[in-house]
Amino acid sequence: ESGQSLEEAIDLLSQLPEVEYAEPDYILTKTETIPNDSRFAELWAHKNTGQLGGTVGADIETTFAWDIQTGDSNIIISVIDTGVDYNHPDLAANMWTNPGEIPGDGIDNDGNGVIDDVHGYNANADNGDPMDGQGHGTHCAGTIAAVGNNGVGVVGVNQNANLMAVKIFN
């Protein structure tokens, strides 16, 4: 009926036996957040415009997700691979730092049996240096959580996560 409030109309409709659920017809606007990272245009997985012969739209639509959220620095993601270049300009700011370690002092400050495991662990050498010597783990880490909107290189899905490197391959 005209003159009813939205809540009254929903209540009335919800009482009808043929109506299981009633809600307003919300108008949503789909926007995209495009980061300023210098190589973003090459990242067809985020935004496929047909570059490199790809299929337009065959992507994971992160540009729409980033309109809602670009990540959470409270999330720690472990990259278990060939290690991670924790000095990489697109990764360094998102590298997890072990709060119980003092970097470079040669002491196992947190008492976990590994000396200076500041950014992760190297299972091959059984030490605290998970530096990537091959590149694959660094590439994966960039896809996962390269710093976004910094004008440098690429951008990861979760632009603000903390990356913990675990080197299991050499």
The string of pLDDT tens digits covering residues 78-128 is 999 999 999 999 999 999 999 999 999 999 999 999 999 999 999 999 999
Strands 120-122 and 162-167: parallel
Query: Rounded to an integer, what distance in angstroms lies between the CA atom of residue 95 and that of residue 137?
Result: 13
Beta bridge partner(s), residue 163: 77, 95
Phi (first) and psi of residue 9, to 5 degrees: -65, -40
Beta bridge partner(s), residue 126: none
The string of pLDDT tens digits covering residues 35-49 is 999 999 999 999 999
* Confidence band, pLDDT 50/70/90 cuts, at residue 170: confident
Query: Rounded to an integer, what distance in angstroms lies between the CA atom of residue 66 and that of residue 107?
Result: 41
* Confidence band, pLDDT 50/70/90 cuts, at residue 28: confident
Contacts of 105 (CB under 8 A, 6+ apart): 116
